[in-house]
Each structure stands twice: as C-alpha cells, then as structure tokens.
Structure 1
Amino acid sequence: MTDDPGGPEAGDASDPDTEATASDVDTDDGGIDADDGGIDADDDGEEIDVDDSLSLDRFHDALEAEERPVATASEVARRLGTTQAAARDALATLVDRGDVDRLDVESDPVVFYPTEWGRLASRERVVTFPKRREIVVDRPTQFTRARLSQFANLVDTTGTDPGTRGYLYRIRQEDVWAAPFEDADALIASLRSVLPRRFEHLEEWIRDQWRRAHRFRLYTHEDDYVVLEAASESLMGNVADQHLADEHVRAPISETEAWVNETEVAAVKRALYDAGYPVEDDRDLDTGDPVDIDLTTDLRPYQETWVETFLESRSGVYVGPPGSGKTVAAIATMAAVGGETLILVPSRELAGQWREELLDHTTVDPADIGLYHGGAKEIRPVTIATYQIAGMDRHRSLFDSRKWGLICFDECHHVTAPVYSRTAELQSKHRLGLSATPVRETGSEEEIYTLIGGPIGADWDALFEAGFVQEPEVEIRYVPWRDELARNEYASADGRERRRVAAENPAKIEEIRYLLAAHREQKALVFIEYLDHGDAIADALGVPFISGETPHRDRTELFRQFRGEDGDLDTLVVSRVGDEGIDLPNAELAIVASGLGGSRRQGSQRAGRTMRPEGSALVYVLATRGSSEEEFAQRQMRHLARKGVRVRETNVAE
C-alpha cells in the first residue's frame, strides 16, 4: 500500500516542472531519432515502402510510428510495409544478434523491444521537479541515496523488493539549514553529483536558505549574559524586532545586537525559526563536572556517522527504526561529550531500561547513575528522569540549577506536548533527541527540530537492505462482522462510539486465536486501544493484560517473564504502555487488534516492536471490513510503506 511518488505528474511532459523529456534519454545506438533512419510515417499511419531487410534503426522507427515502446511482428510489418512473415524472420535475426528482446504477454502473442531499453529500465533514473523542489529516483544507487540524505527528506517509496523501488525526496528549508557542509558551494556540489543537469532556480533557492541559516546567532558576552546578533541592521529591525516579544529581549545593545532574557532563549530560537531564520547557538555553556565513562561496544558505521555529525553541530535528533541502535549511539555521544548528562524519558520502565543499557555498554560507575521519577529522586552525574517529573514546578528549579553538558530527549516527539514542553527549555551545551519517527499529527515536526536540533540518521530502507535491522512483514487483515448484534450496534452508532464498536468487533478474537496458532512458536504482543477490549481478549486467550492501570511492580514482572528472564510467557495483551521504548527483543509477532484511530507515529512504533537485527518480524493489523478502520489502517501503514516497509492486504473469509 504505497503512493506512487511520481503520480501522473512524473510522466506528464506538459508539466512545466518536468525536466526529463525524450531528448534527455541517452540512446547511442540509433536511439529513437526519426531523422536518423530516413524513414517516416505520416499522421494517417500510411505504409512506407522499404526493402525486406530490417535494421535496428528501422525497428526504432516502427516503434516511433506505432507510438509504443513495444510492438508485435504484425505491427512492425504494417509500419514498414512488408509481410508479417518477413518481419517475424527479421526480428528473430535481431533477437539472435542481441539487439532486440522478445516477451510473451497476455494482450499480444509476442512483443519485441530494443535490448538497450531493457537495460535502461534497470538503471538508476533521476527526474527533478525544481519548482516543487522534489526529486524522484528510480532504482537509486547507494551513492545517490547517501548524497540525497544529506540535504533532502525521503517522503515516499514505491515498489516491493529492494533494488526495484522508486524514491521521492523533497528538499525543505530545514534540510538545507541542517545540511552537514562547510558552505553552500559544498552543498551545491553534492546536489549536482546526483542530478542529471544543473537547475539554477533550485540552486539559488538552496543558497538563499543557506544564507538564512547563518544570519542570527546567540553568543555569551564576556560579562556572562546572552546576546542575539544579527548579520545586518535591517535583519535586526525587520525580522527580530517584528517577531520577538517584549519579554524575549532585555535591551538593545547596538543596531545589530540585543541582550536576551536568558529564561527566554528557547522562545527566541522558536520565534526566529518560525520566521524562516534558524539561530546558530554559540553560547559558552558549561558541560558540568566531567563524567568518567568509556564506551565498551563497537559502533556500526552509520552510528559512528551519527555521532560525528552530532558533535560538529552540538545538537540533533537521531532518527531511525526500532532496533537501529539509537540508544547505543546516544550512549556513545555521552561518552564523547564527557559532561554531566540528563536523560529524559516518557516512563519509569524506560528509565530503568536506560540504566541497564548504560551498565551494559559503558564503564560508568553504577553509583554515578541516578533515577528521578515517581519512585526515586536521585541527582547524579548521569541522571535519568521522566518528562512529567522534570517539567513540574517543584522539581524544575533543581534541574535548572545544574550545568548539563548533554540533555538527551528519548522519544523526543513528547517535547511538543503541553505537559512536557517545559523540559525543552532546559539548557545544555549539547541537545540530543531520539525518535523512530518524530512526526506528530499536530504537524509539529519542525518544532521538535527547532527545540532540539535537525534530523540525523539513515533512511529505514537503507538499514533494511544492509541487514542491520530485520524488515518486518506487515499485513492488513480486513475482518468481517460475524456477530449481527455488533453489526447493528455499529450501524446505529456515530462518532467515537462507532469507532469503538468497530475496534471491539468480536470476530477479531477468533482471528487473533487463528494467528497465534499459526505462529505458535513465536513470542506475541497484542495491542489494543480500549481497556474493556483488552480485558475481553486477555480473558478469551487466558493471558495477562498490561495497561497504565497495572501496578509498576506487576508490569515489570510480566515484562521480565515475557523476555524469558523469569518464567516463560509467550503472549501479552498491551495497551499504549507498550507503544514506546519498552525493550522486548524477543517479540517476534505483533497483532494490532485496535487503536487504528491513532497517529502514524503510533503505527510505526507498534510495527517497530518486532524490528530487530535477526529473526522474523511479523505485524498483523486487524481492521473491521466496511468501517472507518479500513482507512485508518491504510493511513498508518502507508507511513511505514514510505519508509520502505512492504505492506500487503488480505480479506478474511466470512
């Protein structure tokens, strides 16, 4: 279930944005130039008298006259004014010479096409739409994808098998602002290395965006206060003065400088970013007391690149699928920074998990790790706190008083939620975010990059192809109504109630039983949205149900049993508490029974529970046929498909 990135526009020669035309195609052996063969066909398709010999050039002319990329022997004979038998024999000679290929198809007995065209179809092709700042690449090489990932956002992919996919990239403002180059010339050189020719309009837009990204900066004055500096007097007057509120600035210093209220630094950066001018942060922030920590785990090549890129800019968001090692890369970043570190997480379970990861991958002294949440209040050189606690007024002053060398925002999409947003105002010399996909349905992805830093990471598909992460098999299964009472209840309901009835379709329990039986050797997670539905499924299957209401101690014990550390629990029913961050490395099967009205990010996270470096990865999404769940399932899974994950669909029998 993927969208064609090119759409009808990609092949529409009338589209003013389309830069690839027939004249751009490299055809060195006769090509498709009608002038080369000296043979024409008039508009009425009149036959042209030629001798019985057939050259590759004349075959090209027949195709052009036919206005098709392939032709039957009878069509070639008609266009070149010879008999069908003679044309068939001549085409057979061209096939023997390797100049033409033949193909049996359903609509024609046999069609022929130039061999060179078949080779062209398997090559990388790049089509540029400069006015929309979009690039469509069919069968891209690793080189092309690596270059494009430096300055463009992967929007969508099509195709099913690695090596045959098409990719749609879009160059956005924030991509240019965060591009890892010394200057605009280096960025343009990288762009030119992958495009078929130069596009002056696109290059000028990129240069303009690069200039915008280097027009404002924050620095620490020698008297230890924060200064906003503009590149010109007009920028300070026409941009900063117009977009900054009175509480953001204490007083002007000069025509190009202003004294910034230190408590409003995050707001200043956000306001100017929204105005189209990201701010360079060159403040002399402390790194706190040094932390004695060394990494004991070898990094994968792409993880090393993430860390190097981050250290150059001192901010950024590691974006990659579950299982790609974002936590290990973050720990390597902590070791490289070597200063006091605050790690913010959405739950107590994740806090404990982070502590174990630090002990597993570093030489850090356990006494130097503190947990700060509802069950513990410890400040240490490395402190792991929940967003909710760190954002509370009664704890906030404690976190503000520390000189953090690094703040790490795990599952950083939480930063823009109102209850957690105050944590983004905590200041540190380095700011790192982690997320499988930072998108929020509120459209606040850009705000995440403003508050923390630009995206850093490989596209999911590259990690699948390289074998670092096992690509999940995702299947949407459309479940029918088998209970007439439930069907009638759905028909008479509306709004949220209708959505709930579809989610709790009783036929889903039977389908879950079938899937668990079909994969009886695999550890399974069953995701639900509504607590009553979770209780019903758990009771029917005779397995535990974990929700936000499950006591922390019981929850920890059940996860331990599922991991095989203490007991042998094969199946868990989980609510949203299982969506984020819980490390269940032996989860091989995920069944999304309900919750399809949730976000695209939630769909990615639930699919991601099975993404691991080795072993099978299966995700079944159950949607009630004929309900709004069909659309929700397709929307959620389309987001995965755009990242290179294959998605198939199945109608469950009545």
Structure 2
Amino acid sequence: MTDGDSPGDPERTDEQTHDAPAESTPIVSLDTFYDAIEAEGRPVMTAQQVARRLDCSQAEAMDALEALAGDGLVTRVDVEADPVVWYPSEWEDVASRERVILFSERREIVVDQPTQYTRAQLSQFAHLVDATGERSDSARQRNRGRGYLYKIRQEDVWQAPFETLDGLLTSIRSVLPRRSPHLEAWVESQWKRAHQFTLYTHEDGYTVLEAATDNLMGNVARQKLDDDHIQAPLSDTECWVFDEAVAEIKRVLYDAGYPVQDNRNLETGDPLDIDLTIDLRDYQRDWVDRFEEQRSGVFVSPPGSGKTVAGIGVLAAVGGETLILVPSRELAAQWKQELLAHTTLTEDQIGEYHGGEKEIRPVTISTYQTAGMDRHRALFDSRKWGLILYDEVHHVPSRIYRRSADLQAKHRLGLSATPVREDDREKDIFTLIGPPIGTDWDKLFDAGFVQEPEVEIRYVPWTDDMSLNEWRSADGRERHMLAAMNPAKLDAAERLLTQHPESKALVFVDYLDQGRFFEEELDVPFISGEMPHYRREQLFQSFRDGDIRTLVISRVGDEGIDLPDAELAIVASGLGGSRRQGAQRAGRTMRPTGSALVYVLATRGTSEEDFAQRQMRHLAEKGIRVNEYDEGSIENGERIADDERTDSDGDSGDEDGEDEGSDETEAHTTDAADGRDN
C-alpha cells in the first residue's frame, strides 16, 4: 500500500467469476450479486434491490441470497426498522482487519480498526486529532466503523519517550505498512533540532548557552534573546546567560523550534539521610536511573503504576532536602504517609506547609496554592532544596502556580498520568520541569502491573418532554447544567450498580445539587469540597476498609486520592471535554488487581456526547478501547436536530479556565473550596 492509498473493494477472483458452468448459473450468483452492488452503488442491498437489478422476483432473490448465505458467500444482517440487508462475506474479513494509511507529506496517519498495540505505539510519537464515526446516529455503528486520524507534530518528536533516534524510528516502523524515507528524514531532522542548543555550567560556576553552530547562535539565539537573557558573548557558539532567565530562555527557544538540552550542574541542597525500605519494580528503577542521568523530567505513566513510589526513589537517589508540591491537603497527608511507610524518614523530618500547618522540615510538603502566594515566598528560600517534586504536574502551567516552576537551579521531577491540557500548553510542563520519562502503557497492562479498564460511554435519553423542553429553552451554562443533571442518569447509575453488586464503586459528579440528589436516592455518602477535610478522610478510609462500598464524589476525588480497591467508576457529569479529568477518573479503577470498569453517562442529543468522547480521548490515545452504547431513545420518538445538539451549552470543555484547585458550590458554579490554604 503506498502513501495515500486507501483500500478499495475486494477484487473478484477467477474462481468467483466461474463458479459453475454457464448453463446452470443461478439467477443470483456471487458474481451477479457483485454486479448488482456495483450498479446500485451501495455496499449492502436488500432482496428487493437485488431483484430489481437482476430482473427477477423478490422471492427468487431472497431464496438465492439465503442459499449463498448457507454457503458462507454472503452475510445477512437484520436491521431495526429496515428490511434484511446482504453483503459479500469476504468484505467482513476486510472490514475487521486493521488498515494503516500514511500521508507522509502531511505527516498524518489514518488507522481503521486499530489493534491495541498499534494505538499504544502511536501514542508514543503522534497526536490523536480525530476519530471518525462519532457523528453516526447509532452507537453500534460508531463502534464498528471507528477510524482514527493521528498527526506527528514537532513537539511529538521532541517529547517522544525514547533515548535514541533508532528507538523512535523502530516504533514508527512497527506501525506503518512499509518504511517511508520522506517521513523518517523529517523525524530525524526534528530529533536533531532538539539537540542544537545546550545549557551547561562553566568551570567557574556560571551558566552557558551553547549552540551547535555559529549560524544557530547568530541567527536564532541572539535574534530571539535579548539583554534580559544574555549577559555576555563568550565565542561564536557560546554566551553567558543570567541564571534567573533560564526558564524564559527555554520557552523562547522552544517556541522558535529548538528545545534546549539542560546539562547544568544542579544543586543537591543540604544532604538528607534517607534510604528506601521498599524494592522498586524494574520499570520504576529504570525511571529513576533515567532521571539521574537527566536530573530533571516528568514521570508519565498510567494511574496505579507507582509513580509516587518511583518519585520517592528519586528523592533517595538525589539525597538532598526536598520540597514536594501537591494540589490538595489530602494529597499532602497521603505523601507523608507514603514517605513514612517506604523510607527511613521519621516524623520530625517531614513537614506540611498549608492551611493551619506551617512546618518547614528537611522534606516539606505544600499545596500549589499556598506556594503561589506572595506571603509564602519564604517557603522556597528558607532551605537549600536539592529536589522540587511536582505531583499532578499538569497544574504547574496555570498562572497561580507559575512561580513554583522558577526554581531552575534545582533537580525537578514531575509526576502525572495525564500531562494534557485543553489550552495546548503541555509544552510548558516539559520546558519548565523536564522531558517525559515513562513506559508504554500497553506493556504495563500486559505485565499485570496495571489493570486495563473497560470503558463505555452510555448515551442517556431525556426522561420526559418537560425535561427536554426545559433544556431546549435554556442557553449558555444553564443548558450545559441541565444536560449534565439529566434525571435519567440516576436510573442509569442505579442499573449499573445493580449489575455489579460486588464492585466497590465511585460515582463522579461535577454539580453539588446532582451529588446531593444521588446521595439521597442511592442512600450513599456524597463527598465534596464543602465537607470538612477530616470527615472526607473518614469516609475515604471507610471505603478502603470495605465498610462503605459506594461513594458519590465531586472533583475532590479526581486526582491523587488513594482508593486502591475501587473497581467501578460511573461518571455522571464532568468538566466539559477535559481529557485530563476523564483519564483521572478512569484511573481510580486502574490498579493491579480486580476489575476496572468505567461508564461515562452523557445525555443523548446534546453536546455532552462530544464532551464524553473528548474526555475519553487520552485513554483512546493510549490504546484503550472506548465503546459506545445507546441507553434508549426519547420516548416520543423525536430526534434532536444536529444544530441543537452542537449548539454551545456554555462550557467549551476547556479545562483550567477555573482555578485548578477548585471544587463546586452550587449547581452551576465553581469555587476554590478545595484550595483555600492560607
């Protein structure tokens, strides 16, 4: 298959053309059926259409098609509200095969019916742009006809988790039907671009920016950077730069198309006496070793794969005093427990700095919001930190957290299952913190370290005309809220809980009114940002202990909370089309043991359909199959027009428009209830 080719209809062989002597040829043979298909211009046909094209009765056509089906030559499909349709059986084999088409000039890859392996490999070096079939009226048709469009961007090559160019090219070749010299030449050129500028520490202690050639230094660096960045030229390829400008230099050159390699001697801080009391898995040890070589980076791997333990491994490897930044107080307490459980650190060596606690110790854990406040700037300067560890690192690019990334002289480690942001500023994570370090998700699934989730989007109808009409008459955020709080979602959630009575379940909501409604109707606790921290932890612990088997939970449960026994996640409403939130909620079930079931409920015929598909896109990129299912249809049989369905519901789905530490208060508003640290 050449670049840009698309698979055509199956060729008819001589055997198919001459199955029997002419004198005994039946009215409808496989050969004449192909002729009828070609004349009709349709891939499937009814007996009536075949009869019309072949000039025979409908009964004769039906009998002949039944005979061909008995011989396995054609396939019968019973279509709801339609007559029976038929198509050549060999087309089913073609339809079920994976097909990969490369458009090398555009660096686009189209994949039909991809295997999990192919999607997992593509996620290493390409960006999922779109999935075809998402507009089909039938969820069954979407599942069967799904195709994927990937694009390889500059930043995909720059951030690909491979140590060598050969490793990257091997991954690309494993997916494509044949090698593409044009594409490989472009990939090699981008790989080289990512190695043209280097920061290093001069023997006299100052920081130097070095270019691979004098042309790059003169026509790129000195054109893009100014006196706020460059202190003095040293040679045709080197210049002395200000230490405080390092982060901005990285951003500027990245935007110019040249990621900077950071090989400076970083501060190790005051020494910290620490040993691990847990054995790292092989892949975790590999992450730690790669971090030691790079001295900065982001551990990117699925939820439940042990990023926290690997981060503690880095803490021990650096051996310097450490500042750990987290999104919430619950995570701060959780980190302290993990450090005490898996290292030789003692209580008096670990401090928490947030809310009412202001303890600065050799290992200090603070929230992003506290660390971002001017009056707490001393937190960064009070000790000689050797390592800054950013948990849930996708929070860092938000304006309120940017200050925490200006510590470029320290070892920097980020942790995240989902370093994706709807504002397309993932690049900030990798320029401010470091390049990605991780393991192919598919390998962790196959090895049994992480449970691959079964993900299903269920499209829920409106319960009655009144609810539908109320939604139709609304606009803006109210319209989005009404779709998200569709009462029929309660019935769907109850059915799912009944179908999985032994599973420990989390029901996620984004609206407090909806959470309270579910709490009352399901008779289970509802945890939100309004609940005191101590009470939240009591309920979380009861869930861990098995005393409570179902929790309704708001955004406070999206990230980091350790609920290792959760097996079933039901997403009743979400933050628009946030890929990060979708993957985080699914990740609550992705642990080594037990089942991992994820159901996303979306109101049929509204923009929630698109939001649900976008929420699951990060998982789809990683090779996880996302199926779709229709719960039913509107009772009066009325279809919602496409212009109504795609009309803005007021929430574009762009995450991070609100405070990253926020939770919800009333039905359609959000506040910083989860991040009010002082």
TM-score range, shorter chain: 0.7 to 0.9
1:550 aligns to what? 531
Judged with a 3 Å threshold, the aligned counterparts in structure 2 of structure 1 residues 578 and 229 are, in CA distance, closer, same or farther, namely same
Q: Distance in 2 between matches of 1:413 and 1:187?
A: 25
For structure 2, list consecutive stretches of 5 or more residues without a partner in the other structure: 24-29, 45-49, 55-63, 78-83, 134-139, 636-678
* Among candidates 244, 259, 281, match of residue 262 of structure 2: 281
Q: Distance in 1 between matches of 2:244 and 2:558?
A: 34
* Among candidates 220, 226, 229, match of residue 239 of structure 1: 220
CA positional deviation for 1:310:
3.2
Quick check: 1:18 aligned with 2:4? Answer: yes
Deviates more, 1:246-255 or 1:442-451: 246-255
CA positional deviation for 1:415:
0.8
- SS in structure 1 at match of 2:184: helix
Deviates more, 1:208-217 or 1:412-421: 208-217
1:499-549 deviation per Cα after TM superposition (whole angstroms, max 9, x unaligned): 222223334344444443443433332222222332333233343322222
The 5-angstrom pairing of residues 620-631 of structure 1 reads 620-631=599-610
Deviates more, 1:511-520 or 1:261-270: 511-520
Q: Distance in 2 between matches of 1:350 and 1:397?
A: 22
Q: Distance in 2 between matches of 1:620 and 1:184?
A: 39
Amino acid at match of 1:481: T
- SS in structure 1 at match of 2:250: helix
2:584 aligns to what? 605
The 5-angstrom pairing of residues 180-219 of structure 1 reads 184=165, 187-188=168-169, 191=172, 195-219=176-200
2:61 aligns to what? none
1:633 aligns to what? 612
1:298-326 deviation per Cα after TM superposition (whole angstroms, max 9, x unaligned): 41x44344334333333332222222222
The 5-angstrom pairing of residues 235-384 of structure 1 reads 235-288=216-269, 289-299=271-281, 301-384=282-365
Quick check: 1:132 aligned with 2:106? Answer: yes
Q: Distance in 1 between matches of 2:12 and 2:86?
A: 27
Quick check: 1:445 aligned with 2:419? Answer: no
Deviates more, 1:132-141 or 1:531-540: 132-141
Amino acid at match of 1:479: P
CA positional deviation for 1:653:
7.5
- The answer to whether the 8 Å contact 2:457/2:612 transfers is no
- The answer to whether the 8 Å contact 1:306/1:318 transfers is yes
- The answer to whether the 8 Å contact 1:637/1:647 transfers is no
- SS in structure 1 at match of 2:386: strand
CA positional deviation for 1:599:
1.4
Amino acid at match of 2:626: R
- SS in structure 1 at match of 2:399: coil
- The answer to whether the 8 Å contact 2:462/2:468 transfers is no
Q: Distance in 2 between matches of 1:630 and 1:275?
A: 37
Quick check: 1:479 aligned with 2:461? Answer: yes
The 5-angstrom pairing of residues 547-626 of structure 1 reads 547-564=528-545, 568-595=547-574, 597-626=576-605
Quick check: 1:645 aligned with 2:619? Answer: no
Deviates more, 1:328-337 or 1:442-451: 328-337
- The answer to whether the 8 Å contact 1:478/1:630 transfers is no
1:608-630 deviation per Cα after TM superposition (whole angstroms, max 9, x unaligned): 22222222233333333333323
- The answer to whether the 8 Å contact 1:528/1:595 transfers is yes
Q: Distance in 2 between matches of 1:522 and 1:189?
A: 41
* Among candidates 376, 400, 423, match of residue 404 of structure 2: 423
2:26 aligns to what? none
2:385 aligns to what? 404
- The answer to whether the 8 Å contact 2:98/2:114 transfers is yes
Q: Distance in 1 between matches of 2:507 and 2:170?
A: 49
Deviates more, 1:258-267 or 1:190-199: 190-199
CA positional deviation for 1:423:
0.8
- SS in structure 2 at match of 1:219: strand
Q: Distance in 1 between matches of 2:549 and 2:124?
A: 42
1:353-392 deviation per Cα after TM superposition (whole angstroms, max 9, x unaligned): 1122223333433433222222322333332221112222
- The answer to whether the 8 Å contact 2:119/2:620 transfers is no
RMSD: 4.6
Amino acid at match of 2:275: I
CA positional deviation for 1:296:
1.0
Q: Distance in 1 between matches of 2:199 and 2:263?
A: 6
Q: Distance in 1 between matches of 2:86 and 2:481?
A: 53
CA positional deviation for 1:295:
4.7
Amino acid at match of 2:430: Y
Q: Distance in 1 between matches of 2:598 and 2:202?
A: 54
CA positional deviation for 1:122:
8.5
1:571-627 deviation per Cα after TM superposition (whole angstroms, max 9, x unaligned): 322221111111112223322222352512112222222222222233333333333
1:97 aligns to what? none
- The answer to whether the 8 Å contact 1:127/1:137 transfers is yes
Judged with a 3 Å threshold, the aligned counterparts in structure 2 of structure 1 residues 48 and 438 are, in CA distance, closer, same or farther, namely closer
- The answer to whether the 8 Å contact 2:453/2:586 transfers is no
Amino acid at match of 1:589: L
CA positional deviation for 1:556:
1.6
Judged with a 3 Å threshold, the aligned counterparts in structure 2 of structure 1 residues 397 and 268 are, in CA distance, closer, same or farther, namely farther
Q: Distance in 2 between matches of 1:200 and 1:527?
A: 47
- The answer to whether the 8 Å contact 2:451/2:591 transfers is yes
Judged with a 3 Å threshold, the aligned counterparts in structure 2 of structure 1 residues 465 and 483 are, in CA distance, closer, same or farther, namely farther
Q: Distance in 2 between matches of 1:530 and 1:542?
A: 18
Judged with a 3 Å threshold, the aligned counterparts in structure 2 of structure 1 residues 541 and 259 are, in CA distance, closer, same or farther, namely same
- The answer to whether the 8 Å contact 2:388/2:412 transfers is yes
How many correspondences in the alignment? 595
Q: Distance in 1 between matches of 2:563 and 2:476?
A: 35
Judged with a 3 Å threshold, the aligned counterparts in structure 2 of structure 1 residues 200 and 361 are, in CA distance, closer, same or farther, namely same
- The answer to whether the 8 Å contact 1:404/1:427 transfers is no
- The answer to whether the 8 Å contact 1:343/1:408 transfers is yes
CA positional deviation for 1:442:
0.8
